[in-house]
Chains A and B, each alone.
Chain A
Amino acid sequence: MMLIWASKKFHVEADPKVEAILAFLPGANCGACGCAGCAACAERIAKGELPPDVCTSASFSCVKNIGECVGVCVEEKEKEVAVVLCNGGVNCLSRFEYDGVEDCKAAMLIAEGEKACSYGCIGHGSCVRACPFGAITIGENRLPVIDENKCKGCGVCVSVCPKGILTLRKISQKVRVLCFSKDKGKYVKEICKFGCMGCGICVKACPSNAITLKDNLALIDQEKCTGCGVCVEKCPRNAIGILG
């Protein structure tokens, strides 16, 4: 009796608009929109503080429905997924054996991680634990593997990675240089099997002139790239990959 009375007495009148929006949000509370959870996000969308397409995790039909709730027409955006810009893992030399807290940020406190490459993934799985959708696992070669079906492109892993090697790519951008090392080619060759040395073979091979070299690293202009895959074949280091 007491509970029934209390539930009636203290009933909070919720904004029906907020509830409608909340129904279309994924409910993962990932925080990528900058709000404390989906409920807070729904409130801010209802107030007009955030655009209806702020949630990167929601599917387009949901976003469209949210847009209808607040009376805004939404255009479809291309889906984005996370990508790891490192191909090293076990194929990159370690300077020492790390024996401590299994967390990338904690491992970074000790000489910036154990990998000889200061740009490479150290593979202690901070991104795995951060991902609200369980889309990341650590693979056999000690590198994070992203399940592109589960990945919603929320970008939480991108902000959590202390090395900054996770980034978002549009799903149509399939060809990526899977290396982030700005070190000189000779050093990269010594420490990593799959690191980009900046040799420039891909620059010459690319039929659409989409690749340039910058800081000892090949850079693919995604606007020009046709996804033909010639560079992937020609790369002597297997540093360029076709994703998806």
Chain B
Amino acid sequence: MKQIAVMKVPERVVIPVTEPLVAIGDTVNVGQKIGESEHSSVSGEVVEISKLSNKNVLSLVIKTSEDLSIEFQPKENPSPEGIKQILKLAGIPIELTPSEIVILNGTDEKPYVTANHALMLEYLDEILGGLKILMKATGASRGVIVICDSDSDVMGVMKADAKENEIEIIPSKTTYVQCTEDLMKNAIAKGSKAMVSNIGIAKAVYDAVFLGKPLIEAVVTVTGAKESQNVLARIGAPLRSLIETCGGYEGEPEKIIVNGPMTGTAQYTDEVPVTKGTYGVLVQYDGTTGEIRPCIDCARCVDVCPKDLLPNVLAISADHARFDVCVTYRLKDCIECGSCAYVCPSKIPIVQLIKYAKAELEKKE
């Protein structure tokens, strides 16, 4: 079975840009630079430049004309500096720091997301190639891919190739909140300098260096549509078109959540575009969370917190606008994994309160 379905080119794409380099009426090609680090994912005409949805982000709307296939020009055997330049030009969100180990997170620890698994089965050579490039650019001697121990099929496919390329594969337990950046650094790098990236980025790095192709596509796991599957989507495509690729809705959707049910955000419309950071779309048909009741001090959130915080104290302090107390209780260490809100029997939106406290503190600074 094919792991990743390729999406039909959408009729129009919406791409958020910081500073547009094109004007209304211009024709753009696939991969053309349209903003500081943004590229057009389709060929067509720019029909609108405006602040859409939440009025803060400037977005380009491009109406697709015929989809031209473009030959991208790669550069031969670039130096580490050259690689940095290429990745920057390709609009890949990655910071290359000199390090001894490059760790790729290949786990799909978030529920309802299997994008990494599919990518590893489909694009193994590209991912290993991408990792090699990252190692060259950062001067690292060790390359590590962390995968879930339940992904035995990936292990089977990868083992021989990884050995050939001198890349380690480290299985991790399949539980939620297992592979955050610092947890992995502590467990694998043990004090030496490490850089953590993910599978999708590694593929994009390969594409940029060996094919000369900028980052214009993302693999997104769509769950809750008629056929749940992984889809290779163009950046800027509306979520609606993704769900249509998967056979459409199963009924009247209640909630559409981008990037997993634990850490993601519910969207109010399916016209929201896919961005470089999108990896999962979940449609829920019964999304009601129930009434919020007072905290009963059961401390289940304390038991479950992977960072050993006291989420109950943080939530109550945030609710009382005592942000100074939040700081004392290490608010900034919270990784917003959502485990506390998930186990809370009183349905207290703990993560939202924590995010609110963080936003308020940021404003004060």
Contacts and interface: CB of A to CB of B under 8 A. Distances in A.
Interface stretch (A54-62, A96-104, A223-231): A96-104
Contacts of B356: 101, 103, 105-106, 109
B268 A95 contact: yes
A118 B349 CA distance: 24
Contacts of B265: 110
Contacts of A99: 288-289
Contacts of A101: 319, 349, 352-353, 356
Interface in A171-208: none
Interface residues of A, number: 14
A3 interface: no
B269 interface: yes
B349 A100 contact: yes
B269 A95 contact: yes
B53 interface: yes
B55 interface: yes
A43 interface: no
B355 interface: yes
B345 to A, nearest CB: 17
B359 interface: yes
A112 B360 CA distance: 15
A interface, by DSSP: helix, strand, loop or mixed? loop
A106 B352 contact: yes
A109 B268 contact: no
Interface in B87-142: none
B289 to A, nearest CB: 6
B192 interface: no
B168 to A, nearest CB: 40
| B interface residue count range (under 10 / 10 to 19 / 20 to 34 / 35 or more) | 10 to 19
Contacts, number: 37
Nearest to A114: B268
Contacts of B268: 95-96, 111, 114
A84 to B, nearest CB: 21
Contacts of B269: 95-96
A147 to B, nearest CB: 23
A101 B265 CA distance: 15
B54 interface: yes
A95 B268 CA distance: 7
A112 B53 CA distance: 9
Contacts of A118: 55
Interface in A100-140: 100-101, 103, 105-106, 109-112, 114, 118
Contacts of A109: 352, 355-356, 359
Interface in B329-365: 349, 352-353, 355-356, 359-360
Interface in B39-84: 53-56
B340 to A, nearest CB: 14
A109 B355 CA distance: 8
Interface in B193-223: none
Interface string B286-312: 001100000000000000000000000
Given A105-B360, A110-B265, A111-B268, A100 B55 contact: no
A242 to B, nearest CB: 32
A158 B103 CA distance: 49
B353 A112 contact: no
B270 to A, nearest CB: 12
B313 to A, nearest CB: 16
B291 to A, nearest CB: 10
A214 B323 CA distance: 39
Nearest to B356: A106
Given A105-B360, A110-B265, A114-B268, A100 B53 contact: no
16 contacts: A96-B268, A96-B269, A99-B288, A99-B289, A100-B349, A101-B349, A101-B356, A103-B319, A105-B359, A106-B352, A106-B353, A106-B356, A109-B352, A109-B359, A111-B268, A114-B268
Given A101-B352, A118-B55, 4 more contacts: A96-B268, A96-B269, A106-B352, A111-B268
Interface of A: 95-96, 99-101, 103, 105-106, 109-112, 114, 118
Q: Which 9 A-B pairs have the closest CB atoms?
A: A96-B268, A106-B356, A100-B349, A111-B54, A95-B268, A112-B54, A100-B352, A101-B352, A118-B55
